[in-house]
Structure 1
């Protein structure tokens, strides 16, 4: 099952980019034997300043057809890391070919796109900068693959 991280904004070289690249590489290595991956980062940028609606249109273009759409949203479902791993495993075992995690820009995800999401995931009631949300998601993807593989990375 392919993983797509679809996000508004382009990360430049720096600590966030290094962490994302590291966690996605780890995810690909760990997930390959489990039928998870590869993981890809799709970045979109609204250079015309059209707001959430324009960002949603750009995101729609990079979300693969027939994929499970997961919106990262503060109003979404809170899950533990093992619950998140189980959810990924269930989508994989259910024959889903693609899962697209959608991270909006500074103003969030347009209501129309958020409404199309199959699942809404929250990293807590606090609002996180969208660049950090990417890092947190990529780490949780790697952690989920590690949990499914029985690796000691997750010690809870």
Structure 2
């Protein structure tokens, strides 16, 4: 399954870009990152068999295991592409939220879109490592 990050804003060079690169290099699944301007720009068309996930502070909070299970179920169910959308400062319109398959949040705090992208990259690495049985994730261990 293709993991496709669609993000508003250019990440450029900096610590957030380094984190995204570091974690996405570890992900063994097919992946793609599309950057759009803060306003305008064309969102890449969704292929048949894709799912769209919006990252939004008002979304569902999922544990890393729940996130991994979601991706694993979609992959095993024949989903070809999981599209992770990170909005600009004003977030998403009600129509965009309604059209998404899932809206998730990384906690109740508001995160800058560059940090959200780095956090998403880490969670994608964590989820795929959980699915692969890699020891990176240590939920419930002390």
- TM-score, length-scaled by structure 2: 0.91
| CA distance in 1: counterparts of 2:125 and 2:75, whole angstroms | 15
Q: Which has the larger share of helix? A: 1
Partner of 1:145: 128
Partner of 2:124: helix, strand, or coil?
Answer: helix
What is residue 9 of structure 2 aligned with on the other side?
9
| Alpha-carbon offset, residue 63 of structure 1 | 4.3
Task: List alignment gaps of at least 5 residues for structure 2.
Answer: none
Aligned partner of residue 23 in structure 2, secondary structure:
helix
The ranges of structure 1 where at least 4 consecutive aligned residues each deviate by more than 2 angstroms after the TM superposition are 63-66
Q: Which of 46, 69, 72 is residue 64 of structure 1 equivalent to?
A: 46
TM-score (norm 1): 0.84
Matching of residue 39 in structure 1 with residue 21 in structure 2: no
Distance 1:81 1:10 in 2: 26
CA contact (8 A) 1:3 1:38 kept: yes
Could you say what the CA RMSD is over the residues aligned between the two structures, in angstroms? 1.3
Give the aligned length.
138
Aligned pairs (5 A) from 1:4-153: 4-28=4-28, 37-46=29-38, 51=39, 54=40, 58-59=42-43, 62-66=44-48, 67-153=50-136
Q: Is the 8 A contact 1:6 1:63 kept in 2?
A: no
1:110 Cα deviation after fit: 2.2
